[in-house]
């Protein structure tokens, strides 16, 4: 992915990092899966830019590595087009990344503004999660409920908080990623050469369990 393409994806305000830490010393990440148009942006590249943002924003954050992170999923704008565009195998890989692929542990997940289709999607995806992760998920019927869990001074104004706007948070994330350009390019060169692994090489089935669940969510049922 070129710098120009990455910049256009960053402007969609998908993964944002709230200022400071909560009362338990945890970093809070705001994820906005409905903030882009899947007819214009490749959902797999959207995830890649999200992961790049995670690395750039968190690579020097020792406190987050010690105390963990809290993730807010704001499903505003998320519809069937977002869900049907996402291969099921990619969704399983994303799950594995959030659960095991980071140097910081997700301590809690807050779900807000979930329309029925997004809730059905989540119920399907949750079967790929570890039980301890499912126990850390909290659904909020309104922002007032969210404010009881996450300090308002950290939340952006769009979520009823007193913190920076989403536009301001996007600008900060974009600048941080571009500052980390050389680091991210170097990181992408590292790969696992499974033929050199002692013992049995790891396969996609071993790592992600994707065999037998490939396909999409196009036939997702909505109650």
For residue 108, the domain's CATH number is 3.40.525.10
How does pLDDT run across 172-222, given as a tens digit for each residue?
Answer: 888 888 888 898 889 888 887 878 888 877 766 666 665 444 444 444 444
Residue 215 forms part of a structural domain: no
pTM, two decimals, is: 0.81
Picking from 65, 82, 64, the residue whose alpha carbon sits closest to that of residue 73 is 82
Kind and range of the H or E element at 29?
Answer: strand 27-31
pLDDT in tens, 20-79: 999 999 999 999 988 888 887 787 787 788 888 888 888 889 999 899 999 999 999 888
> Cα separation of 135 and 143, whole Å?
21
* Helical axes 166-179 vs 43-58, angle rounded to 10°: 80
Residue-level pLDDT at 50: 80
13: how many CB neighbours lie within 10 A of its CB? Answer: 19
Residue pair 173/17 in contact (Cβ under 8 Å)? The answer is yes
In a domain, 213, yes or no: no
Range of the structural domain that residue 63 is part of: 3-169+193-208
Is 219 inside any structural domain?
A: no
């Amino acid at each position: 992915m070129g710098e120009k393409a990455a910049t256009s994806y960053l402007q969609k305000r998908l993964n944002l990092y709230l200022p400071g830490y909560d009362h338990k010393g945890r970093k809070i990440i705001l994820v906005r899966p409905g903030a882009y148009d899947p007819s214009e942006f490749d959902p797999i590249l959207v995830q890649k830019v999200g992961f790049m943002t995670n690395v750039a924003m968190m690579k020097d954050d020792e406190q987050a590595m010690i105390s963990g992170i809290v993730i807010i999923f704001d499903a505003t704008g998320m519809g069937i087009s977002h869900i049907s565009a996402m291969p099921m195998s990619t969704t399983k890989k994303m799950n594995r990344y959030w659960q095991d692929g980071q140097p910081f542990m997700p301590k809690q997940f807050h779900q807000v503004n979930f329309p029925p289709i997004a809730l059905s999607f989540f119920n399907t995806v949750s079967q790929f999660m570890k039980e301890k992760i499912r126990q850390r998920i909290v659904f909020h019927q309104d922002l007032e409920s969210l404010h009881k869990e996450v300090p308002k001074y950290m939340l952006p104004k769009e979520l009823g908080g007193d913190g920076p706007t989403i536009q301001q948070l996007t600008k900060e994330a974009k600048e941080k990623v571009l500052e980390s350009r050389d680091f991210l390019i170097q990181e992408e060169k590292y790969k696992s050469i499974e033929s050199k692994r002692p013992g049995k090489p790891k396969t996609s089935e071993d790592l992600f369990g994707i065999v037998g669940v490939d396909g999409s969510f196009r036939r997702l049922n909505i109650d």
